[in-house]
Amino acid sequence: MDYGMLNLASIVLGLIGWAVPVFQLGRMVKSGTGTGRYGHILSMGACALAIWCQIRYNEYLIDIEDWGAIVDTIDAVRKVALFLLVTTLVVNLVTAHMENALDKEET
């Protein structure tokens, strides 16, 4: 397995985690309807998988005993993972709030 691909997968999954709620917000503004509740699950799932890819990559670095790479990158990985998790959560909460407001207007 090419473990370097885990970093690429982490970036792509993180972007998907952000893109899904942004797409939902755009659709709500444009057509007045959301994409349903599964978008939040997809978004948070992509975020979780992105963080898992980083954990798995760090496990690989431990397996090959590349201690220098771990020491050099662990602080940045920790900060980026926290940023990804918090921003994905906030964007999903905003989207959920707007969907609830839209649902109340329809009834």
- Mean pLDDT computed over 6-35: 87
Q: Which residues touch 47 (CB under 8 Å, ≥6 apart)?
A: 13, 14, 17, 84, 85, 88
> Among residues of the chain, what percentage have pLDDT more than 70?
93
pTM of the model: 0.87
Question: pLDDT value at position 107?
Answer: 65
Cα distances (angstroms) measured from residue 24 to each of 4, 21, 54? 31, 5, 27
Minimum mean pLDDT among 22-36, 57-71, 88-102: which range? Answer: 22-36
Q: How confident is the model at residue 8 (pLDDT cuts 50, 70, 90)?
A: very high
Rounded-to-integer distance, Cα 84 and Cα 81, Å: 5
- Mean pLDDT computed over 27-54: 86
The answer to whether 55 and 70 are in contact (CB under 8 A) is: no
